[in-house]
Amino acid sequence: MNVIISASELASELAGARPPVLLDVRWQLSLAKAAGAAPFDGRAEYAAGHIGDAVFVDLDAELAAPPGAAGRHPLPDVAAFGAVMRRAGVSAGTPVVVYDGGQGWAAARAWWLLRWTGHQDVRVLDGGLATWSGPLSTELPTPAEGDFAPEPGALGLLDADAAAALARSGLLLDARAGERYRGEVEPIDRVGGHIPGAVSAPTTENVGPDGRFLAAEVLADRFKALGASGTDVGVYCGSGVSGAHEVLALAVAGIPAALYAGSWSHWSSDESRPVATGPDPQ
């Protein structure tokens, strides 16, 4: 099954007999508050114009539990997530397309959660809203209640111990920027560096300048060069958002991968866990 969809394909499906449920998940990891600027407001962006009957989903409030010991974006309560999806019109048998402003990270988080909880037909708009040339709407849709009942476990999920073990027995990819992996800078979490044994694989290198994913064969070559050949693969990032985007890129390449949802924000919060720095995985 395809995991991404182009804007032209989406326009065609929206005009067809079985249009997908649309979820708008515009979000940005913003440090603006520390700089004194107003943080990014995805809901306001949505209200100013969205695709057709798209329903806004708030990543921080609805695709994550409150930050705490489990990380900055812990997995949401499954029952609460299911209620959000049903209110958005998601049913088990209806296709779903998720989009964000273009970075793809937030849309991938929604895609991963829906797939992890058992929805079989979820795709991400490749390149996000920036690729959409059709009309936008400011009307707030009122979709019929869906029947989606989440059942976790359809995709691989790692905890800290499993991530550490996979870094030794298989391939654990670090989707953050290289300088954070090496520990040269750390703007958010307690300490910089990476999980010992993890391999640096910035998710930004999975897309072109327009934010669209590289071709499947190019991605497959990239991941195989990093060691994703005949072994189990896992991914982590800062807090389980950009890591979901890397899992999506791996899916485009035909490579299944598990996500360490707590990611570095969870790993680094425990001073007893080892931290590696520099370009070497170990």
Active site residues: 237
| Helix (H), strand (E), coil (C) string for the chain | CCCEECHHHHHHHHCCCCCCEEEECCCCCCCHHHHCCCCCCHHHHHHHCECCCCEECCHHHHCCCCCECCECCCCCCHHHHHHHHHHCCCCCCCCEEEECCCCCHHHHHHHHHHHHCCCCCEEEECCHHHHCCCCCECCCCCCCCCCCCCCCCCCCEECHHHHHHHHHHCEEEECCCHHHHCCCCCCCCCCCCECCCCEECCHHHHECCCCCECCHHHHHHHHHHCCCCCCCEEEECCCCCHHHHHHHHHHHCCCCCEEECCHHHHHCCCCCCCCECCCCCC
